[in-house]
Amino acid sequence: MNKNQILMIINEFPPTGGSSIQRPLKFAKYAVKAGWEVHIIAPQKPVRKVLDYSLLKDIPTAAIVHRVAGLGIKNPENNKMVDARFAETAPKSKIFKSFWGFLKLVNDFIFPYDKQIGWMPFAYFTACNIIKKQQIRNIYITAYPYSAFLVGIALKKKFRESVFWVADYRDSWQFKPLLEKFVLPFRFRKISRTDDKVLATCDAAVFVTPETRLEYINKHSWLKEKSYYIPNGFDEDDFTGVTPKKFDKLTLVLMGKLTKVYGSPLNLLEVLQESFSNNYQVIHIGNIEKAILQSIKNAGYTNYHYLGYQKHSEAIAYSLGADINLILLNEHSTAKYWFPGKLFELLRCGKPILALGPKESNLEKILSDTKRGRYAYINDKEQIKAQLKYILENPNQFDTSLETIKQYSREELCKQLLAIYERGQSSSS
């Protein structure tokens, strides 16, 4: 048996696009570089409408990718089998619209798991065959979608000590803002019980923030001995050969989602309009809720430009060319613990970062420690104005060296992940 083998079960994988893809993709890339034999189980069809075929180049040629089918319903927009429950887009026929609304209610509030659960049994049987054939001990499963963890529970039940399973939480499952408030009680209890079973079953759990890890440890003290903090990061290769965009006016770039969860840019836009009239622009790359986009239009902020999703290299080019890169969180108290995945790429860009969010945020601390930006309370327009002024008047006060952020490189973070498996091998021998 080759100890340096790993089976990675990844539901969201190229050509599916988005920031969440980067973490498992880079782990796979640098595990291969470290000399490990990597097997990947991924969906046969993209699981989301956002596609980025440029990410396919990052799949290591030496990795063995097993594309697995799943149960689902065709999305009317792209004819892809994406959901085990109901597609994101309602049928165009008016006859079905009211019934579709009911199905969406069931989809979001009653059904205990996520839409990708139809992929789970196919991934499980494929994993069983690979484990038996290749004698693989090391298992990596990442979530969201959380239904992927059900594969891990089933594999651990079947193979017991023959496998060492790391559950990688890209986000908290049961400790989410408003989850308990807005889902039906029985569904929340089911989610909580299943999440607890994941933690009890896995051999190690990895979290992207220290606070998320602490939340789980506070509930299960025994988890302290088998849980780890590995943040998201940046891949230096992603910046090679990328030409920064050039702009003829003050340009602030926002890369990421704009939803109620991630905060509103209205206060910032008001400050910019008052301070610079029309001699500025905000370029937004990512997704935005229709209600937020409409509120921006209603307010008359014509210097806000929404570009939608762009391929990863293109998004980096915009961030490299920006005068200021933006990060927005909401004012909810739990948001103070969040590290947006894009943060680490923005640290690498070397351009000043203006981050807006709740009071006493960890994001403020990391910007201060790395000397990469400034932070303001998202609802305090005077503070936003002051921090914006500081950035523009003190451009040389910000650190641009790679040395101060090298601990966030994807290669270094992958070494931390592989070290968990190596410790697991040592304890079993």
Residue 374 pairs in a beta bridge with 354
Q: Which residues contact 387 (CB under 8 A, 6 or more apart)?
A: 354, 374, 375, 376
Nearest to residue 119, comparing CAs of 255, 10, 257?
Answer: 10
Task: Return phi, psi of residue 31, to 5°.
Answer: -65, -40
Task: Output the pLDDT for position 89.
Answer: 43
What is the SS3 assignment for 410?
A: helix
Q: Which CATH class is domain 237-406?
A: alpha beta
Task: Return phi, psi of residue 3, to 5°.
Answer: -65, -30
Farthest CA pair distance, the chain: 68
d(CA 285, CA 287): 7
d(CA 82, CA 79): 9
User: Tens-digit pLDDT profile for the chain (429 aa)?
Assistant: 567 999 999 999 998 888 889 999 999 999 999 999 999 999 988 777 788 888 999 999 999 999 998 775 444 444 443 343 333 444 455 655 666 566 566 666 666 777 788 889 999 999 999 999 999 999 999 998 889 999 999 999 999 999 999 999 998 888 765 565 666 777 778 888 999 999 999 999 999 988 889 989 999 999 999 999 999 999 999 999 999 999 999 999 998 888 766 667 899 999 999 998 888 999 999 888 888 889 999 999 999 999 998 999 999 999 999 999 999 887 665 666 677 888 999 999 999 999 998 887 888 889 999 999 999 998 899 999 999 999 999 988 999 999 999 999 999 999 999 999 999 877 665
For the domain 5-233+410-428, what is the CATH superfamily, name and number?
Glycogen Phosphorylase B; (3.40.50.2000)
d(CA 241, CA 313): 9
d(CA 415, CA 363): 24
Task: Output the pLDDT for position 20.
Answer: 85
Written as six digits, the tokens of 193 are: 């019980």
What is the SS3 assignment for 279?
A: coil
d(CA 239, CA 276): 31
What is the SS3 assignment for 168?
A: strand
What is the rounded (10 degree) CA torsion for 258, 357, 238, 138? -100
Task: Output the pLDDT for position 107.
Answer: 60
- What single letter denotes the amino acid at residue 171? D
Task: Output the pLDDT for position 80.
Answer: 45
CA atoms within 13 A on the CB side of 22: 24
Task: Output the pLDDT for position 79.
Answer: 43
Q: What's the predicted TM-score (pTM) here?
A: 0.87
**Domain boundaries defined on the chain:** 5-233+410-428, 237-406
Domains 5-233+410-428 and 237-406 share a fold: yes
Residue 326 pairs in a beta bridge with 254, 354
